[in-house]
Amino acid sequence: MNNELTILLFVKRQMGLKGIDGLITNTYMFAVITAIVMVGIAILIAASVKNQPGPNPRDAAKRKLWFWILGILTPIIFYAYNLTLVMPNIKAGPAMNKFFMHSALSPVVSIVVYIALGVTISKIFKRKKVGTWFNK
């Protein structure tokens, strides 16, 4: 495990096979952190959309739309981060081969965590604004 390397602050050197296991763990952890941050942004947006009175309110649809827009952006943002900041710092060859599968799976982890957190928060707070994410 390469302790001096963190996922956010890269030393400008190529990483070999020895540091890849730590980088894989950091990549999955950062995928989860990205999902949590995006759910937080979705909660803030849901709270900022005002309730609309009347027979056909559109506020719930706006909250759902923003939840799914951020859900689509979560793996895209994470994959772009991985592609631009992490992958160039890995040596080609066995190190890249070992990391490549995990760089493709980590955005999937981010979207799964995002949706799981969204469903959980929506079901816990049914009567709040975030409760409209998965109703009807």
pLDDT confidence of residue 96: 78
Cα dist from 45 to 15, 60, 82, 85, whole Å: 39, 12, 26, 28
Task: For residue 119, list its beta bridge partners.
Answer: none
Report the length, in residues, of the chain.
136
**Number of alpha carbons in the 13 Å side-chain half-sphere of residue 98:** 16
In this structure, what is the dihedral angle of CA atoms 73, 33, 61, 44, given to the nearest 10 degrees? Answer: -120
Residue 48 CB-density burial (10 A; 0-12 exposed, 13-18 middle, 19+ buried): exposed
C-alpha angle 116-66-129 in degrees, rounded to nearest 5: 75
Which residues of the chain register pLDDT less than 50? 1-5, 7-12
Q: For the chain, what are the domain ranges?
A: 18-42+58-132
